[in-house]
């Protein structure tokens, strides 16, 4: 029964992040889902951790917030074995998930030059979205 409740909580959080399409902190998620019976921060953090492990949610460290994964291949979540970037609008908070082979190539070259072996790479870029530039 507890597993079913945890799975339901995880799906509620994922549905919320997909609907909102903007970064939300764990406490924002908690307040928005309180009426659905989610009352405890550890419950939200556990669900977010599971969603991150499945590559369905990303944490934006600079904002201490989470967004639903928007990078899909063939209808399935990407395995994220490559670098990923996020363009974040300073004005409205919109987020665009970005991936490109040239980013992987550039980071591979940097890795070789620096002698560092990179693991998961998440790049957060801040600016203005198309709508806010107008």
Q: In what order do the strands lie in the sheet with 95-98?
A: 95-98, 84-89, 122-127
Torsion sign across C-alpha atoms 121, 126, 131, 134: negative
Q: Is the pTM of this model over 0.95?
A: no
The residue segments making up the domain with residue 7 are: 2-133
Tell me the pLDDT tens digit for each residue of 18-71.
Answer: 999 889 999 999 999 999 989 899 999 999 999 999 889 999 999 999 999 886
Q: What is the CATH number of the domain that holds 34?
A: 1.10.10.10
Q: What is the pLDDT of residue 84?
A: 85
Q: What is the pLDDT of residue 73?
A: 42
Strand residue runs (E) in the chain: 57-60, 65-68, 72-73, 76-77, 84-89, 95-98, 122-127
The total number of structural domains in the chain stands at 1
Angle at 17 between CA 132 and CA 70, to 5 degrees: 70
Tell me the pLDDT tens digit for each residue of 73-124.
Answer: 444 555 556 788 999 999 999 999 988 888 888 989 999 999 998 887 889 9
């Amino acid at each position: 029964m507890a597993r079913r409740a945890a799975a339901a909580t995880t799906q509620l959080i994922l549905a919320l992040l997909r609907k909102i399409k903007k970064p939300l902190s764990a406490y924002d998620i908690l307040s928005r889902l309180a009426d659905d019976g989610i009352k405890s921060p550890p419950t939200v953090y556990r669900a977010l951790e599971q969603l991150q492990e499945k590559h369905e949610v990303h944490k934006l460290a600079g904002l201490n917030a989470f967004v639903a994964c928007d990078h899909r291949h063939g209808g399935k979540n990407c395995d994220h074995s490559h670098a990923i970037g996020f363009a974040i609008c300073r004005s409205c908070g919109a987020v665009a998930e970005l991936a490109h082979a040239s980013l992987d190539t550039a980071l591979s070259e940097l890795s070789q030059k620096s002698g560092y072996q990179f693991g998961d790479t998440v790049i957060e870029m801040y600016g203005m979205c198309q709508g806010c530039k107008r």
